Amino acid sequence: MAAERGFAAEACVGQVVLPGDLLLLPASYGEDAEGERLRLSAGAAPAGRLLCGPGLRRSGAGLLVTKCGLLRHRPAGGGAYWVDSQQKRYVPVKGDHVIGIVTAKAGDVFKLDVGGSEPASLSYLAFEGATKRNRPNVQVGDLIYGQFLVANKDMEPEMVCIDSSGKSSGMGIIGQDGFLFKVSLGLIRKLLAPKSEIIQELSQLYPFELVLGMNGRIWVKAKTVQQTLVIVNILEACEYMTAEQRRQALAKLSGN
Amino acid sequence: FMQRGLDSQTKKQLEEEEKKIISEEHWYLDVPDLKEKESCIIEERSFVPCEDLVYGRMSFKGFNPEIEKLMIQMNSKCKEEEIEVDDKMEADVSDEEMARRYETLVGTIGKKFLRKRDQRVLEDDDEDDDVDEDRNSNIIPSKKAKKMFLKPQD
C-alpha cells in the first residue's frame, strides 16, 4: 500500500499536481470488486469510459500523475482528465499532425526531422494517388504535413500523408515560400483550441495561410514578405503577452 | 521409430504412454485463474481528443480557397454541427394543383387504352357537345341502344 494518501480527482481540477500524486476516482469507475456499488448508486453510472490523458497513468483504483502541471477535466463524453504541462521538446504520439523537414531520401523511404529523438520515416506510397510508377516529387529540404502512423518508445516513428480512407485531406508537401519557425507546445495547443482568440484576431488583419504542427512548428505564408514577418512576430510574442497587450499591438498594425 | 508393421493396439499403447510422459513434464501454474477485470479507463497520450483541437491547416480571407473548404469540412465533422439537410424537399407544385392535373391526366391517358368501339363513342361525344343541349335526351337513348347487346332473333 502506498505510503501517501490519494486525493480525490475532482478536488484537484485546476490545481498544480506533481509526479507521484495519486488521484482517486469515484467508485463508479472502479473494477469488478466494487461493481455492487455501481448497481446500488442510482443515476451515478458513467456515460462511457473515462479518458486518461497525457501526464496521467492508470494505476489500480486511481490515476497516477507522471508530469507536473495543472490538472484539467472535461465532463463531456464520459469525462476526461489530463495534465496541462508546458514543454518545448516534442515526443511523437500516434495520430498527431506534424510538420516535418525531409533530410534524406533512402531508396523508397524519406527520412523526416520532426523534432523528436529520431527521424521519422515516410514511404513514398503514403501520398494520395501515389503508385510505383507515379512517385511524389519530394526533394531534400521540403516541408511535409503528415500524421504519425506508428509512434512509441520502442520503434522508429512512421508518418503518412493520407488518412484512413486514402484521402490526403490537406496533408502532403507544403508549397513554396512561406516561413517556418518553432514555438513551445503549449502555444500550439492554445492556437489550436476551438475558437482561439489569437487566431480570430489575426484573421482580421490580412489574408494569409497557416499550418500548425503539434511538434511546435508553424509555417506562415502571406502575400508579401513583410506581412509574413509581422504574423511570425506576433505569434512568437503572444505566448508571453496578455490579451490587452496583444490587442494593442494588433490595433497599431491595422492602423499602419 | 514408427514401424510399418505395428498393430493398431500397440500403436495406441505407445501413444498413451507418450501422453502420460508429456503431461507429467508439462508445467502449470497452481495459482487460480485471475478474473479479467474490465477497466473503464482508457489511456490516451495525445492532447487532441482531450481538448478538442481543430485541424492544423488554416487559411484566412481567401488566401487558399481549397484549404478554406477543407477547414469547414474538418471542423464540422468534429463538432457534428447542425445543417442537416431537410428531408422533405419543398414542393414546387401545390397539392390542389396536383389533384386537378391528376384528374385530367387520368382522362387523357385513359382514352389511349379504350377499345375501338368506345373510342367511336367518345368521338361522337365530342361532336355532339357542339349540338344543343335539348337534343341531349334524344341522343342518349340512341347511344344506349348502341351499347346494349342485341339479342339475336331466332
Taking contacts as CB-CB distances below 8 angstroms, the residues of chain B near A83 are none
Query: Are the C-beta atoms of residues A170 and A209 closer than 8 Å to each other?
Result: no
Question: Phi/psi of residue B124, each to 5°?
Answer: -60, -40
Q: What is the pLDDT of residue B81?
A: 44
> How far is B109 from B101, CA to CA, in rounded Å?
12
Superfamily covering domain A96-173 = Nucleic acid-binding proteins (2.40.50.140)
Instruction: Determine whether A124 is exposed, middle or buried from the number of CB atoms within 10 Å of its CB (0-12, 13-18, 19+).
Output: middle
Task: Give me the CATH code for the A179-254 domain, please.
Answer: 3.30.1370.10
Chain B residue at shortest CA distance from A212: B56
Give A9's DSSP letter: G
Whether B57 contacts A145, CB under 8 Å: yes
Nearest residue of B to residue A172, measured between CA atoms: B57
**CATH 1.20.1250.20 matches A1-27+49-85:** no
pLDDT tens digits for range B42-65: 888 888 888 888 888 889 888 888
- With a CB cutoff of 8 Å and minimum separation 6, the contacts of A196 are A190
On the 0-12 / 13-18 / 19+ scale of CB atoms within 10 A, A98 is buried
Mean of per-residue pLDDT scores for chain B: 71
Residue in chain A lying closest to B71 (CA): A170
The β-bridge partners of A208 are A222, B60
ipTM score assigned to the predicted complex: 0.74
* Amino acid, single-letter form, for residue A248: Q
Residue A70 CA: distances (Å) to CA of A9, A14, A65, A110: 12, 6, 11, 38
pLDDT digits (tens, 9 = 90+) for B107-141: 888 888 877 777 776 665 555 444 444 444 444 44
- Rounded Cα distance between A63 and A56, Å, is 6
Determine the pLDDT at residue A147: 93
Domain A1-27+49-85 shares a fold with domain A179-254: no
CA distance A31 to A135: 52
Rounded-to-integer distance, Cα A161 and Cα A145, Å: 7
User: For the stretch A21-57, what's the b/e string if a residue is b when 16 or more beta carbons lie within 10 angstroms of its beta carbon?
Assistant: bbbbbeeebbeeeeeeebeeeeeeeeeebbbbbbbbe
Going by pLDDT thresholds of 50, 70 and 90, the confidence category of residue B38 is: low
Q: How many residues does chain A have?
A: 256
Give the mutation candidate from A29, A51, A81 for the B interface (greatest B CB count, under 10 A): A51
Alpha carbon distance B36, B27 (integer Å): 22
Task: Round to whole Å and give the CA distance between A228 and A192.
Answer: 19
pLDDT category, B101, cuts 50, 70, 90? confident
Give exposure, B20-59, as e/b (b: 16+ Cβ within 10 Å).
eeeeeeeeeeeeeeeeeeebbbeebbbbbbbbbbbbbbbb
CA distances from B83 to A85, B77, B87 (A): 37, 12, 11
Q: In Å, how far is B71's CA from the nearest CA of chain A?
A: 9
Positions in chain A whose pLDDT score sits under 50: 1-4, 30-47
* Domain chopping of chain A, boundaries: 1-27+49-85, 96-173, 179-254
Question: What are A61's three cell numbers?
Answer: 483504483
Residues of B in contact with A190 (CB under 8 A): none
* pLDDT score at A211: 93
Interface mutation vs chain B, best among A169, A180, A187, A223, most B CBs within 10 Å:
A169
Does pTM top 0.80 for this prediction? no
Closest partner residue to A194 (CB to CB) among B40, B54, B73 is B54
DSSP structure class, residue A79: -
Residue of B nearest to A61 (CA): B39
- What confidence score (pLDDT) does residue A51 get? 85
B53:A194 CB<8 A? yes
